Structure 1
Amino acid sequence: MFQEMLQTLPQVIIDGLTLGSVYAVVALGYTMVYGILQLINFAHGEIFMTGAYIGTAVLLIILGMGFGSSIPSLLLLIIALVITALCTGLLGMGIERVAYRPVRRAPRLVALITAVGVSFILQDVVRIVAEILTGNYIVTGPSLFSKQITIPVSSFLSVFNDASLKVSFFIVLICAIGMMISLDFFVNKTKWGTAIRAVSMDRETAALMSINVNKVIAITFFIGSSLGGATGVLFAIQYGTIDPYIGFILGIKAFIAAVMGGIGNIRGAMFGGFLLGLIEMFASANLSLLTGGIFGAEYKDVFAFAILILVLLFKPEGLLGKAATEKV
């Protein structure tokens, strides 16, 4: 059994890093909003989904206009990422202004229900628009960076099988890591990042120190939503087909990643995303083997939730989080 698990390990690592990078960037949106408002923005998964549709639409429009042969694929992707990030960033700011700011001082349950309502609205709006424009809400994007590469791992270490990947693997991984490093630098090294950290520590005191709290919260939503939307484009490039419901389960998984790493901890969200992606791909490849065929790859989600429960039982603040002390 151990030998069979080793054979598939290179492919598991490649697939896990690809999926984990998506989880990690989406988890950043959850953890940024929670760090400031203590709000679980369940609409963030749908912002990710909206970004996937916007990015796919931009690529299809550019290719449909006949520019596909004259513009390099990498430049096409950059254009789609920039336009999508701006659109979803503004969408996130609009959601905060219309749906969350009026209930900011209400009980947290009210804001949570509002977030769930916004997520359903986005699902239905995107579905209606996609059906009107294409006749089907399930959309297949253009095949960019789809060339397959085989890594001859077995020629170096015979215990492993060869692994295959698409060129888009490198694109997704590099873009995701670049966005995470940029966000970490912004939050820890810039003036606005200092303001965000100040508001997350004590909103009232930050306001007394002449920090515009509403503007900081709006910027936080813009950044988190921009990252989520851009990641939706990367998801569409990697996996090809999208639908209005991809944001729900992926958003839940990204939230799990944020909790595993330490909700409110940016670096913890990154770590949790990659860890969850690797765990999920390992379960998908080996769960049937580990359980003697009782459970198959379709139970990988159960495996991920079981890991979350264990983390919450033994380290509820998350793997990289710090236990909070409450003064009474």
Structure 2
Amino acid sequence: MELIQQLVNGISLGSIYALIALGYTMVYGIVRLINFAHGDVFMVGAFVGFYAITGLHVGFFPALLMAMAVCAVLGVCIERIAYKPLRNATRIAALITAIGVSLFIEYGTIYIRGAQPEAYPSTLLPDKKIEVFGVMISSQSLWILATSIVLMILLQLIVHKTKIGKAMRAVSYDAEAARLMGINVDNTISATFAIGSALAGAAGVIFGIYYVKIEPLMGIIPGLKAFVAAVLGGIGIIPGAMVGGLVLGVIESLVSGLGYSLWRDGVAFIVLILILIFRPSGLFGKNVREKV
């Protein structure tokens, strides 16, 4: 029974990692860039949701939509200002820029509002105990899981059933050929950043409800863990990011349940080391030779 409880908690936590990891993997799939500022977009989403709830007195879903909208705009601004001028630069230049943008967002937030943490209202979602097959499960965990699954399904529909989704897949496969076929590559890249950042914003609100406490540096560890989840599933592969996030969340929850809670952060990086040693392409990836 305790194992089932840990699995449910792990899947709820993993769904948060999956939402953040989708942004990493979508951007990498299009422009071959690891956007390390993505974890800080997640942090901004958490604060937008918090201020919407406490300042505008809206409910969970309006706060979620507001956080997604603000983060989508932020993601496009980051891409247009910081990354677009470096489109043809070396990868190390883009990587250094991503780290710089990350630090700018973190300490810009501290400068604007201070470093003090905030606490999400505990009554935002109903938190009742529901018995499922003899196991008491928090209704809040089920709400979080359901919201994350709906967002992932919507992403799949956008990628596979819409015009912008087809453009994203074409640019991911061959940007130059897509440009010759009349696809606006710059707008497609911006749309990718917008969608990935919107998912990170949603993850920020869900994280705030799950863990209650939020603060300006909160995006560092979840952002790194989401990157591990993306690598675990296969960087650049959307289903891989989803599965990688869920697997990582379950592993963390099981480690905590076994009494090794001090290792819950370290286990993610142990997983990263092991996946890079034994399957560097990830669970869903294929080994492809790259010309250098």
TM-score by length of 1: 0.85
- What residue number does 2:264 align with? 300
Give, as a single letter, the amino acid of the residue that structure 2 aligns with 1:265. Answer: I
Gap regions ≥5 residues in structure 1: 1-6, 69-75, 157-161, 289-295
Aligned partner (choices 37, 45, 53) of residue 43 of structure 1: 37
User: Would you say 1:142 and 2:127 are equivalent positions?
Assistant: no
Cα shift at 1:148 = 3.6
- What residue number does 2:212 align with? 240
**For 1:302 and 1:137, how far apart are their aligned partners in 2?**
26
Deviations 1:210-255 (A, max 9, x none): 1111000000001000110111111112211101111000000000
Aligned partner (choices 9, 12, 17) of residue 23 of structure 1: 17
Cα shift at 1:152 = 6.8
Preserved contact between residue 45 and residue 205 of structure 2 (Cα < 8 Å): yes
Larger Rg: 1
- What residue number does 1:178 align with? 150
Written as runs of structure 1 = structure 2, the 5 A alignment for 1:1-328 is 8-63=2-57, 76-131=59-114, 137-143=116-122, 144-149=124-129, 151=131, 156=134, 162-165=135-138, 167-286=139-258, 288=259, 296-326=260-290
Preserved contact between residue 37 and residue 101 of structure 2 (Cα < 8 Å): yes
Preserved contact between residue 60 and residue 125 of structure 2 (Cα < 8 Å): no
SS in 1 for 2:129: strand
Cα shift at 1:307 = 2.1
Deviations 1:234-279 (A, max 9, x none): 1112211101111000000000000000000000000000000000
Give, as a single letter, the amino acid of the residue that structure 1 aligns with 2:68. Answer: A
**For 1:318 and 1:152, how far apart are their aligned partners in 2?**
34
**For 2:226 and 2:291, how far apart are their aligned partners in 1?**
31
Gap regions ≥5 residues in structure 2: none
Distance 1:110 1:164, change over 3 A: same
Cα shift at 1:26 = 0.4
Give, as a single letter, the amino acid of the residue that structure 1 aligns with 2:238. Answer: I
Distance 1:299 1:202, change over 3 A: same
Cα shift at 1:308 = 2.2
Preserved contact between residue 32 and residue 266 of structure 1 (Cα < 8 Å): yes
Give the share of equivalent positions with the same residue, in percent: 46
Identify which range, 92-101 or 299-308, moves more after superposition: 299-308
Distance 1:110 1:326, change over 3 A: closer
Give, as a single letter, the amino acid of the residue that structure 1 aligns with 2:121. Answer: P
Cα shift at 1:304 = 2.3
Cα shift at 1:137 = 2.4
Identify which range, 229-238 or 265-274, moves more after superposition: 229-238
Cα shift at 1:327 = 7.1
Deviations 1:278-325 (A, max 9, x none): 001111121x4xxxxxxx321122222222222222221110112224
Deviations 1:64-107 (A, max 9, x none): xxxx7xxxxxxx11211111111110000000000001111111
Identify which range, 40-49 or 138-147, moves more after superposition: 138-147
Give, as a single letter, the amino acid of the residue that structure 2 aligns with 1:142. Answer: P
Preserved contact between residue 10 and residue 163 of structure 1 (Cα < 8 Å): no
Deviations 1:158-206 (A, max 9, x none): xxxx5442x3212211111111111111111221111101111111111
